Amino acid sequence: MSGKRLALVGAHPDDCDILASGLAMRYRELGWDVLFVSMANGDCGHQEMDRAELGARRAGETAAVAEMLGIEYVVMDVPDCEVQPTLEQRWALLRLLRRFAPDLVVTHHQQDYHPDHRYTSQLVGDVSFLLKVPHCCPDTPALRKDTVHAFFHAVRASDREDAFAVAVPIDDLWRRKLEVMACHTSQMFEWLPWVNGEDMRDIPPASDAEGRLAFIDERRRPIFTLAADLYRDRLVELLGAERARSVKLAEVYYAAPFPTSLSERNYRVLFPFLC
Ligand SMILES: [Zn+2]
């Protein structure tokens, strides 16, 4: 089977990492190429640092993730909280995706809670057909293949979607996924606990690496446990009852209503590790 190319398009420089780094690791295990995109530069999410300082720090955090996973990580030059379905942002994403030529693109659900997530989803939908239209942005050659589109299972989703879904077990990747998330120090150990009203004295110091992974584990594990439980019947269909029963943690991806969506017809070549 020829190598496939995965592009994850998130709004902020930690969304792809939190939501889908397990899938990225599966692709990398096969030697397949992965691109993470952040549509905004993430320069708003901090209670103390100013925007320029934070933007630079978060660029360093994404570089660390890129190094750890062996992927390309592109952070767009768009201020945080200002992702919009403008022509400028549409063409920037179109050119980037054409250059990478993905077989599978995953982005946020259209009804996500954060406006940057919603408009990122819209931008991906806006370019989904244009990827193949040669007279649109002719400076970057149009693709001659179909690109399959899917959504992340949202962090806050407690219900199943009706759409076709694929559940990827990530138990064996969980520790590495924690390490990926821990690269986002400004978020995991500073901004997110603060904005969520946690007692900041509970955060382990930087010298306590294991304590910090446990801190993230406690907060993030329930999301992926819930996803595995919500989609247990899909895991059974994909893996068989015995293997499915042992899965504790899963990332879930489901069909996006764009020109070529994830479906029964195309998922096997994109998720061969499930077959
Ligand atoms: Zn986000």
Domains of the chain: 5-274 (3.40.50.10320)
Give me Rg for the CA atoms of the chain: 18
Return d(Cα 101, Cα 8) in angstroms, integer.
Answer: 12
Q: How far is CA 131 from CA 64, 71, 98, 140, 192, in A?
A: 30, 22, 6, 10, 35
Long-range pairs, 257-260, Cβ under 8 A, ≥24: 257/125, 257/163, 258/124, 258/125, 258/128, 258/129, 258/149, 259/128, 259/129, 259/146, 259/149, 260/128, 260/146, 260/147, 260/148, 260/149
pLDDT at 155 over 80: no
Measured in angstroms, how far is the CA atom of residue 192 from the centroid of ligand 1?
Answer: 11
In the reported structure, the alpha carbon of residue 14 is separated from the centroid of ligand 1 by a whole-number distance in angstroms of: 7
Please say if the pLDDT value at position 144 is more than 90. yes
Mean pLDDT of 122-132: 98
Angle of helix 174-182 relative to helix 15-29, nearest 10 degrees, comes to: 140
Determine the distance separating the centroid of ligand 1 and the alpha carbon of 173, expressed in angstroms: 22
Average pLDDT of the chain is: 96
Q: What is the reported pLDDT for 173?
A: 98
**Strand-by-strand arrangement of the 104-107 sheet:** 72-75, 33-38, 5-10, 104-107, 148-152, 250-255, 165-169
At position 126, the amino acid (one-letter code) is D
- By the 8 A CB rule, do 18 and 36 touch? no
CB-hemisphere CA count at 13 Å for 252? 31
Res. 1 pLDDT band, cuts 50 70 90? low
Return d(Cα 241, Cα 232) in angstroms, integer. Answer: 9
Q: Exposure pattern of 234-270 as b/e (b: 16+ CB <10 Å)?
A: bbbebbeeeebeebebbbbbbbbebebbbeeebbeeb
Spatial distance between the Cα atoms of 169 and 186, rounded to a whole number of angstroms:
28
Pair of tokens at residue 31: 């030697």
How far apart CA 141 and CA 274 sit, in angstroms, is 33
pLDDT class of 2 with cuts at 50, 70, 90? confident
Q: How far is the CA of 229 from the centre of ligand 1 (A)?
A: 24
Interatomic CA distance for residues 275 and 273, integer angstroms: 6
pTM over 0.95: yes
| Centre of ligand 1 from the C-alpha of residue 157, in Å | 14
Q: Given this model, what pLDDT does residue 216 score?
A: 98
Query: What's the average model confidence in pLDDT over 208-223?
Result: 97
Say how many Å lie between the CA of residue 241 and the centre of ligand 1.
34
Q: What is the pLDDT of residues 222-266, one digit of tens each?
A: 999 999 999 999 999 999 999 999 999 999 999 999 999 999 999
Other CB atoms within a 10 A radius of the CB of residue 134 amount to 10
CA 226 to each of CA 19, 112, 153: distance values in angstroms, whole numbers, following the listed order: 13, 18, 11
Q: Yes or no: say if 231 and 252 are a contact pair by the CB < 8 Å rule.
A: yes
Single-letter amino acid code for the residue at 219: R
- Per-residue pLDDT tens digits for 168-186: 999 999 999 999 999 999 9
Interval between CA 43 and ligand 1 midpoint (Å): 12
Tokens representing 208? 């306590």
Q: What is the DSSP string of 167-209?
A: EEE-GGGHHHHHHHHHT-HHIIIIIHHHHTT--GGGSPPTT-H
The H-assigned helical ranges of 6-140 are 15-29, 51-69, 87-100, 115-130
Ligand 1 centre from 136 Cα, in Å? 29
